[in-house]
Every structure is written in structure tokens, then in C-alpha cells.
Chain A
């Protein structure tokens, strides 16, 4: 397994180089996992990405580096401390460094000679490929997928020049035939957006907000092909109410944002709950409160999301755990919303959103589609909010039936007319809450990973999934098989069965969360009475790594 950091100022082309390099490595059969660390600015500052690649699955990023590709001095200063002793620093000759690990090449001059100073990134890609003993067999294919047609030739020349200018340093890792070459390389936001399309999305409305914006951008770019309406709203309140209006009229609808925008959508969640209109909300979390750290990561919106909006009504919250999960869970969320006529909220975060991972091509045959009620199923008078055994009333689409369809944010009768009757009020609250009973039956239990019999049980949710997997593997290797972990995807209502069973056998329960107050631990205590014995909490805006979890546990986080 190797780990490379590419860093520079905003606007220097870090991301272009990274995107190209990760594609090369994946096409060479490696599993590639890239995390992006960038500042909330468009010029200057310090941005970097870390590409980790291996001939096996990678679930977490790592802070130990094999190589640094430095586009400026600062990158070297900031990161050389975590570079292995036998690692390398690739930089241009204009960067002065006395580090013995440096490979200094006059890449800028070479680029000018080739004809465009901007191809220096491609030169460095060529250098890296040579260092790791790769061939240029896939160069043309990858370049065609990476840059505009008119730039393919010049960039290929740059890659070749870079390739020729160094000797191999590492032996390529052994790859079984076809290893990961035909897998996808996709970011969490792209996977989520694609999952929505696969799940029948017709309408997406949003106001741009980091780190959710690339969902809006991806869907907008595919709207024509996939037959969607994608609308940038004037604010998040409009975005949410548009999604509700579109869904009421029969279009599967989703609205995405981050915590600040979600705050503006809060009232609308109650409307979706009260009027029983299916809508999927996406909250790609970043550190709050207020503006917080716009381009960084945190899991601090859980307690806010599960109780957002006044009054009581059923809702479902799904935390996506990785890129693959983002695809399937988003499609599922649209179906769950439709089936139960409730708001379903997807919690992701910047770590999943902006990281790219290698994923087995998505299988759309795994997605089934729930549909609104058919008019022919209506017997007698149509009552939009009819009392039923499971609380789910017949939902017809206005204009597509002879019946009249109502939606009301006021408490209402079975017909959907405003009422203040105490009796109706009780029956309607009960009807709505009843939907949770059926929903509870189809909740997905948290995924268990680790030793068959575990003494020490880690608990996590959402994006700490990958780092926890890596940590549990390492701990069991090092300490003997006594570690296990439960990682929640469906998180509200909280599935309890597996947790109650596993927690009985564990002597120590540690929650690992990317927040300051242990929100999952709190929710678990409230829902089950189970208390965690210790916690690992991180809230500096940077995702925890598997290594960090191991280190914290070894240092005695496990009393």
C-alpha cells in the first residue's frame, strides 16, 4: 500500500493532477482512495489531496506518506514531517529544499518547451508512474477521459517526458488480473447523485453550499440525459418547498444542502411530515455552528436532524457510510419516503462527499421502485388521509385521477380539510406515528465487523465506517481477536436488536464519532439505556484515520 500527497496553492492545479493520477492508478488495477483537503478560498492558501493505492481494498486514508508532490515550498514544510524516511519529495528545481529525499526536476521549463506551462502536472504524473514501475500502456485512454480533446496530445507528451526523466524507485505491487481496473472511481457526492437518478429522481432543487454543491452540479450536468428538472433555488427555504410541491404533483424529489441550509429547511420537514408528502433531504455535514468550517468535515448534526422542526411526526434518517453506500441508500431513501409518505433525511459529510473511492460498478437490479397508490385501488369516497391499519393513506397524484387531492399543513380531517376537532387531532397524530411501527420492521441493523466474539465493541455511524474497519483489523492483528464494531447506517429511528445483543457480551463499549459531544452515544442511551464506557471524539474538521483510532485505543482509551 502506498500513500501520496499532492499539495499546492488554490489555483495551482492540484486537483487536475490528482484526478489524472488517480485515474491512471485505478486503470493500472489498483484500488485507489483519495481524500481532499482544501481551504474555503479560490486562490492562494494551501490545498492538498492524499492518494492511497493498493492491490486490496482500502477503507481509510492515512497520515503516513510515501511521497509528496509539492507544487510549492509550503507543501514540503507542512508535510515532510509525516513522510517516511525512504519516501520521496517531487518538486520543481525552483523550489529550494535541502531534504535528501527530494527529487528536483525542471518540470516548469520542460512544460514550456513542450508548449504549455500548464502541462507540468502531467509531467509529474509521468514521473510518479515511472517511480512506481508502471507502464504508459493506458496513457492515451486515461488522458482522453481526463482532458479536452485538443489537450490530449500535449499532455501525453508531458507524461512521456516525465516518465523518461527518472528511474524506477518502487516495485509495482502485485495485481491479480483485472483487479480494480473495471471498477468505478467515484466521489461520495457523485455516488449519491447517481443513486438518486437510479432511484427514479425527477426533481432536485438546491441552493449552492459546500460541501453539497457537487450533487447539484452533477445532477444539473446530467439533467437533460436523465430527464430531470434541476433548479437552483433563491434560498434553501424555496429549495425545500419546491421539492415538496414537485413531489405532491408526482415527481420524485430531493433537496440537498449542508447544515446551515438545512437549518432554513427545518419548517418544511414538518410540512412534509404533516401533509405526508415524500421528500428526501440530504445534509452533507460540515463543522458548525453558523458558518463553521465550510470545506471541512464533522458529524455534529445528528441530534439536530432527528428533532428538527416543531411538533411530532415520523421521519427516517440514514447515515451513509461510504461511496457505495451513498448510491444504494439514496435510491432506497427515495423509496422509503414514497412508501411511508414521510421525509427521509440522508446524512453524509465532507469526508465522504469529496473523497473518491474505488467501487464495484453499481448494480441497478438491486433497486426496486415503490409507486404511489393506483386510482383503481380506491373504493368509495377518496380520502387522502384515510385512517388505515398501518397509518399509510392512499396517495393519488393530482390531475392524474378523477378524485381531488389535498395537502394541508394545518391539522386536517381524512379529507384533508382544516379541523380543530380534538378527536380528529388524536386520531391523526396516531395515524401518522403508526407508520413508524411498520418502518421499524424494515430498518437495517448496523453492520458488524471484527472478531466473532468481541470484548471491546466500537460504535460508529456514517463516515467513520472506513476508518473503524481499518482500526479493528489492525487491533485484532496486533492484540488478538477481541475487537469488534457496529456501524450504523439507518440511525433514526435507531435499530436496537443487534446493538442490544452485542453490547451484552462486550466488557467495554467505545463510541467513535466526529463530534464533540458523542451524539450517537447520547441517542443510544436515550433509546436503549445502554451507556458507552468510553469515547473517541474528534472535532477539528479533519477526518479520523484508522491509525488514529488504534493509537487512541492503545493509549488507554479503553478503561
Chain B
């Protein structure tokens, strides 16, 4: 088994999730990943169904809680390629605390956020990235709350890989996905995608008019420039690797994991247990 298959999906026709799923399959195949060595994790939401639709190992957990489960799976078995595909509500709303603190941990996983700036599964309420003034069935006079800037938040929290992509630019999306998966550490890719059913503002055309690729001369290692780029929102939206810095990973920082063996291969040593018992005598 070397190719990644797609199973029957339950997304709306025209949903940005299809493009992301296809790009992901291409990315994994081009990177030579084996389905049985890949773990796809997600929480709850439309984007969070991604692991259900691709032939790999899958962990579909609780709303907002995919990151803790995903990082721990990687801590247990370093040989797994661990990828979280989930939405803006799951990642930045319900799971906001885990998002911040796992940037600090820097476990080598990849986090693809399908950011459609709206709640899809629950049918159209504001998400943490919904723009001010956006009218929904709950935010009836328009959303009042300042939207989260996930890129800025990630850079400020110390993330080593922060990128943005657009589901409508497949070639670029694949290249960013590849770089993110290969990055040794926690990699965030916030992917703009249209929600054809519930977001009539941030449509495919909306993004297409505004996104532009960062040019080749852009220096992704310059943190101050990256912060400026992350703050570029509104009528022009940069896509690409906004910030990149190599930092020690969790596995390098953890005394046990730094020895190189996967945690699940370390056998309990009865001699050590007996020594620990003896310490209480």
C-alpha cells in the first residue's frame, strides 16, 4: 500500500475541503509516506472529518482536543508522521489553550487548519476568525468580536513554522504542505478555504482576489518582517511560509526521548523497579 485512497465523503459540493484533501494526498505521496506510518488526527467539525476520508491511521477525538492527543501519539512513537487536519473553531476556539501551549512544546507534528472563518458543522455561527460585522444566525447584528490572528498569535507564542495557504491555489498549497511536514517541530499552516454553504462573504472569489504568494526574496527567518506579514489582513493576504526558525523539538528536549528510541520500544526494566522499591526501605 503506497498510495493514499479517498473514501466516500459527506462534504458539500464545492467545499474547500476537497481541494485540501486532494493536495494532502498528493503531498504525502510525493513525500513517499506510507499510509500505515501516517497518523491523521482531528477533533470535531467539517474539516475534522478529513481523517475519515483518507486511507491512513486515524484518530478522531473530541472537539478541540486533537492536538493533545496528536502530540502524545508522536511522543509515544516518533516514527509516525502525525498530521492534524481540523477547522478554525476546533483549533482556535474550543482548542485555543492547546494551540498556544503546544507551540511551546514544539512536538514534531503538522497542524493544517482549514480556516473558512465560519462554523460549518453547526451551520453558520461565527468562528474565532470570523470578521467583525459578519451576520450569522447567532451574531444577528454582525459579529462584535475581534477575530483571532492565528499567524500573529503563533509567531508571538514562539512557533518555529508559521504558514498560510489557500485551498484554491493547489500547487502552492502542496509545496507549503510539504515544507510543513518536513519541518522538524510543530508546524502551523492556516489554510483559507471557502465554505460554500455558510460563508457568503469569504468566498472562493473573495480569496482569489486578495491572496498573493510571497515572493522568492521574502526572508522567512526575519521575525519582525514575519510579524508585519502576519498583520497584513484585509485587501491583500500573503500566502506562503511567513516564519521559519529551527528550534529544539520536544523529542530533543526530553531526556528520555532524546536517547533516540521510541517510547513504545522501551521495556519496563524489573531491575530498575526493584531498585526504586529498595529506595523506600
Query: A residues near B, CB below 8 A?
Result: 182-186, 190, 194, 197-198, 200-203, 205, 222-229, 231, 233-235, 237-239, 241-251, 253, 267-268, 271, 275, 361-362, 364, 397-410, 416-418
Contacts A198-B273, A202-B264, A202-B266 given: A399-B61 contact, CB under 8 Å? no
B36 interface neighbour in A184, A185, A401, A410, Cβ under 8 Å:
A401
The verdict on B150 contacting chain A, using a C-beta distance below 8 Å, is no
| Interface contact A223-B57, CB-CB below 8 Å | no
Add 7 more A-B contacts to A202-B76, A203-B72, A245-B59 (CB < 8 A): A197-B273, A205-B72, A223-B256, A234-B100, A249-B80, A361-B278, A407-B61
- Min Cβ gap B170→A in Å is 26
Contacts of A404 in B (CB 8 A): 35-36, 55-58
In the complex, which residues of chain A have a beta carbon less than 8 angstroms from the beta carbon of B68? 233, 237-239, 241-242, 245
A406 and B61 alpha carbons, distance in the complex (Å):
11
- Which DSSP category, helix, strand, loop or mixed, fits chain A's interface? mixed
Which 10 A/B pairs are nearest by Cβ-Cβ distance? A245-B69, A245-B72, A249-B76, A234-B101, A398-B57, A184-B280, A251-B76, A249-B73, A242-B72, A246-B72
Contact (A402, B58) CB under 8 Å given A234-B98, A251-B263, A418-B52: no
**Is B30 part of the contact surface with A, judged by Cβ < 8 Å?**
no
Is B138 in contact with chain A by the CB < 8 A criterion? no
Q: Is B37 a contact of A248 with CB atoms below 8 Å?
A: no
Our pick among A227, A361, A410 for the contact of B266 (Cβ within 8 Å) is: A227
A231 touches B97 (CB 8 A): no
Say whether B25 faces chain A, with CB atoms less than 8 Å apart: no
A237 to B97, CA, bound (A): 10
- B39, B44, B61, B100: the one contacting A398 at CB < 8 Å is B39
Most A CB within 10 A of own CB, among B55, B77, B101: B77
Question: Does residue B205 face the partner (Cβ distance < 8 Å to A)?
Answer: no
A238-B101, A249-B39 known; A417-B73 Cβ under 8 A: no
Closest Cβ of chain A to B193, distance in Å, is 21
Min CB gap B65→A, angstroms: 4
Interface residues of B in 100-144 (CB under 8 A from A): 100-101
Which B-chain residue is minimally distant from A238 (CB atoms)?
A: B68
Q: Is B257 part of the contact surface with A, judged by Cβ < 8 Å? A: yes
User: With contacts A197-B268, A200-B268, A399-B80 known, is A229 near B257, CB below 8 A?
Assistant: yes
Docked pose: A222 CA to B279 CA in angstroms: 12
Contact of B58 among A183, A201, A408 (CB under 8 A): A408
- Determine whether the beta carbon of A225 is less than 8 Å from that of B80: no
Chain B contacts of A409 at CB under 8 A? 44, 60-62
Contact B280 A203 (CB under 8 A): no
Quick check: A203 and B58 within 8 Å, CB to CB? Answer: no
A399 touches B59 (CB 8 A): no
For B12-55 the 0/1 string (1 means CB < 8 A from A) is: 00000000000000000000000111010100100001001001
Please give, as numbers and ranges, the residues of chain A lying within 8 Å of B1 by CB-CB distance.
402
Asked if B72 and A403 make an inter-chain contact with CB atoms under 8 angstroms apart, the answer reads no
In the bound complex, residues from chain B placing their C-beta under 8 Å from that of A361 are: 277-278, 281
Cβ-defined partner of B281 (8 Å) among A183, A226, A406, A407: A183
Are B58's CB and A407's CB within 8 A? Answer: yes
How far apart are the CA atoms of A246 and B73 in the complex, in Å?
4
B272 x A249 contact (CB < 8 A): no
Beta-carbon contacts of B249-265 to A below 8 Å, as 1s and 0s? 00000111100000110
* Shortest distance between the CB of B80 and any CB in chain A (Å): 5
- Min CB distance A493 to B, Å, is 25
Residues of A within 8 A of B72 (CB): 203, 205, 231, 241-246, 249, 251, 253
CB-CB under 8 A from B217, the residues of chain A are: none
Q: In angstroms, how far is the closest chain A Cβ from the Cβ of B7?
A: 7
Are A231 and B75 in contact (CB-based, < 8 A)? yes
Judged by a CB distance under 8 angstroms, whether B79 is at the interface is: yes
What chain A residues lie within 8 Å of B44 (beta carbons)? Answer: 409
Contact of B57 among A183, A239, A399 (CB under 8 A): A399
- Cα A233 to Cα B68 in complex, Å, equals 9
Given contacts A241-B61, A417-B7, contact A403 B36 (CB under 8 A): yes
Contact B71 A245 (CB under 8 A): yes
Residues of A within 8 A of B73 (CB): 245-246, 248-249, 398
Known: A197-B273, A404-B56, A410-B60. A399 touches B79 (CB 8 A): yes
Per-residue contact bits, chain B 70-96, to A (CB 8 Å; 1 contact, 0 not): 111111110110000000000000000
Q: Is the beta-carbon distance between B60 and A251 smaller than 8 angstroms?
A: no
Residue of A nearest to B66 (CB): A241
For this complex, 20 residue pairs linking A to B, each with C-beta atoms less than 8 Å apart, are: A190-B280, A194-B273, A205-B72, A229-B256, A234-B100, A238-B65, A241-B65, A242-B69, A243-B72, A245-B59, A245-B70, A245-B73, A246-B263, A248-B59, A248-B73, A249-B73, A253-B72, A398-B80, A406-B59, A407-B58
In the assembled complex, which residues on chain A have CB atoms less than 8 Å from the CB atom of B255?
223-224
B254 touches A229 (CB 8 A): yes
Chain A residues with CB under 8 Å of B98's CB are 234, 237-238
Establish whether residues B65 and A268, one from each chain, have CB atoms under 8 Å apart when the complex forms: yes
Residues of A within 8 A of B280 (CB): 184-186, 190, 194
Docked Cα-Cα span, A398 to B55, in Å, equals 13
Q: Give the Cβ gap from A88 to chain B, nearest Cβ, in Å.
A: 30
Option from A243, A397, A405 in Cβ contact (under 8 Å) with B264: A397
Determine how close the nearest CB of chain B comes to the CB of A252; give it in whole angstroms: 9
- Chain B residues contacting A405 (CB-CB under 8 Å) are 57-58
A249 touches B77 (CB 8 A): yes
Partner of A229, one of B37, B39, B55, B263: B263
Report the separation of the CA atoms of residues A401 and B77 in the bound assembly, to the nearest whole angstrom. 13
Which residues in B have their C-beta under 8 angstroms from that of A233? 68, 101
CB atoms of B268 and A182 under 8 A apart: no
Minimum C-beta distance from B108 to chain A (A): 14
The listed residue with most B CB atoms (<10 A of its CB), out of A231, A238, A251, is A238
Q: Which A residues touch B76, using CB under 8 A?
A: 202-203, 229, 245-247, 249-251
Give the shortest distance, in Å, between A148 (CB) and chain B (any CB): 16
Contact A408:B60 (CB < 8 A) given known A186-B280, A233-B68, A238-B68: yes
User: Once the chains are docked, how many angstroms separate the CA of A156 from the CA of B75?
Assistant: 46
Closest residue of B by beta carbon distance from A198: B273
Report A-chain residues with C-beta under 8 Å of the C-beta of B234: none
User: Which chain A residue has the least Cβ–Cβ distance from B105?
Assistant: A231
